[in-house]
Amino acid sequence: MFRLEVRTSTPAWFNLALPLLAVGATLVLCSGLIALAGAGVLEAYGVMFTASFGDSYAITETLVRAAPIIFTGLAVAVAFRAKFWNIGAEGQLLAGAVASCFVGAIPMPGVLAILLMAIAGAAAGAAVALVPATLRVKFKVDDVVSSLLLNSVIYYALMALIEGPWKDSFSGYPISPPIEDSASFPVLLEGTRLHLGVIAALIAAPLIWFLIVRTTLGFRIRVTGESPEAARYGGIHVERVLISTALLSGALAGLAGVGEVGGVHFQVMSDISPGYGYSGIVVAMLARLNPLGVVPAAIFLAAVMTGAEAMSRATGVPAFLSDVIQGTALLAMLVALLFTAYRIRRVGAAA
């Protein structure tokens, strides 16, 4: 018989071991589905790996995929540090995409356009995140529910825009007009899609880490998240910290949308985000809310997404496996987190 016993301390190497354990468990669990679909497990994972890391082009594609997830992962990590439960990164991303696309469609010099797109996208994301934060601070409305439901509001508002007033008149599809050519993000590596937004995401992670660990705002975010009572007693304006956190979190998610418009799609369509906002939650949990950990976690999920399509083509296993892997990884990580607080002890057979 086994039993859970409370831990008095958590070893430091757990921070690295737990996500790896969760990822390992996920791949093992999902291999059953692959076998069920009639493919060889090792072959399928092999195809996935080759497709996402096999050559330099594959690696750049994985990074392009990872960029929005890094931003949403950072958005969620920052919010969860303050225990502001922002499940709305998806809607904030969409709002950022719409705002930056509006700005990008206005003719102006490229550098200015990119700058204004980023500002507009971040502001739009922040504005969306402000809604659940204000509802929570002023009226004690549960932020999980309000931020989650707002995603649908934003999504259908976007649909209404691109099916109606904002529909591209030169296209039969429900898509927005494209941004100006001058507003598209520069590509950093000839022949790939590795755009400016990817670099921005890779730089954002250490910046956010610095903010959390080394600034007074970060200190206040951490303390507010761990103990609002102690924070308030210690002179921290808890409501103000929650609002600041929400603005920061929403802005980061908004930037995810900016990168997709400026560097990948150059316009807004209904499927501009295949759930990057939700992937951000998985990534933030795998990273244990550490902004630096968000980068490898996002690259892992991006690789799963790119790899799953190739695997589907090569072995016939449906690409939906990528969603299953994401979901399983989140569950596996939540279970793994149990071991930070508890240890498993073997006890003799019950008397």
User: Contact positions toward other proteins, by CB under 8 A?
Assistant: 3, 8-9, 214-220, 222-223, 226-227, 229-236, 347-348, 350-351
What is the distance between the alpha carbons of residues 330 and 326, in angstroms, rounded to a whole number?
Answer: 6
Contact predicate 204/197, CB 8 Å:
no
CB of 283 to other proteins, least distance (A): 22
Element spanning 298, H or E:
helix 291-315
The least CB distance from residue 140 to other proteins, in Å, is 15
Which CB sits closer to other proteins, 8 or 169?
8
Nearer to other proteins, 171 or 215 (CB): 215
Question: Which residue from 217, 211, 249, 208 is spatially nearest to 236, judged by alpha carbons?
Answer: 217
User: To the nearest whole angstrom, how small is the minimum distance from the Cβ of residue 175 to other proteins?
Assistant: 42
Residue 10 vs 56, nearer CB to other proteins: 10
Of 219, 201, 199, the closest CA to residue 210 belongs to 219
**Distance, CA of 140 to CA of 155 (rounded, Å):** 25
Burial of 173 (C-beta count, 10 Å sphere; 0-12/13-18/19+): exposed
36 or 350, CB closer to other proteins? Answer: 350
CA 339 – CA 5 distance, rounded (Å): 10
Least distance (Å) from other proteins to the CB of residue 202? 23
> Minimal distance in Å, beta carbon 228 to other proteins?
9
C-beta of 36 vs 347, nearer to other proteins: 347
Of 158 and 231, which CB lies nearer to other proteins in the complex structure? Answer: 231
In the complex with other proteins, the residue whose CB is nearer, 206 or 234, is 234
Q: Positive or negative CA dihedral for 81, 256, 89, 278? A: negative
- Hey, how many other C-beta atoms are within 10 angstroms of the C-beta on 137? 18
State the minimum distance, in angstroms, from the CB of residue 115 to other proteins: 24
Q: Which of residues 218 and 277 has its CB atom nearest to other proteins in the complex?
A: 218
Q: How far apart are CB 285 and other proteins at their closest, in Å?
A: 17
CA–CA separation, 89 and 137 (whole Å) = 19
Q: Is the dihedral of CA 19, 25, 29, 34 positive or negative?
A: positive
Least Cβ distance, residue 218 to other proteins (angstroms):
8
Is residue 3 within a helix (H) or strand (E), and if so which, with residue range? strand 2-6
Of the pair 275, 291, the CB lying nearest other proteins is at: 291
* Interatomic CA distance for residues 200 and 304, integer angstroms: 22
Q: Nearest-CA neighbor of 245 among 237, 257, 234, 235?
A: 237
Closest CB 27 distance from other proteins, rounded Å: 31
Nearest to 234 by CA among 246, 245, 219: 219
Task: Tell me the CA distances in angstroms from 214 to 90, 288, 333, one per residue in order.
Answer: 28, 18, 27
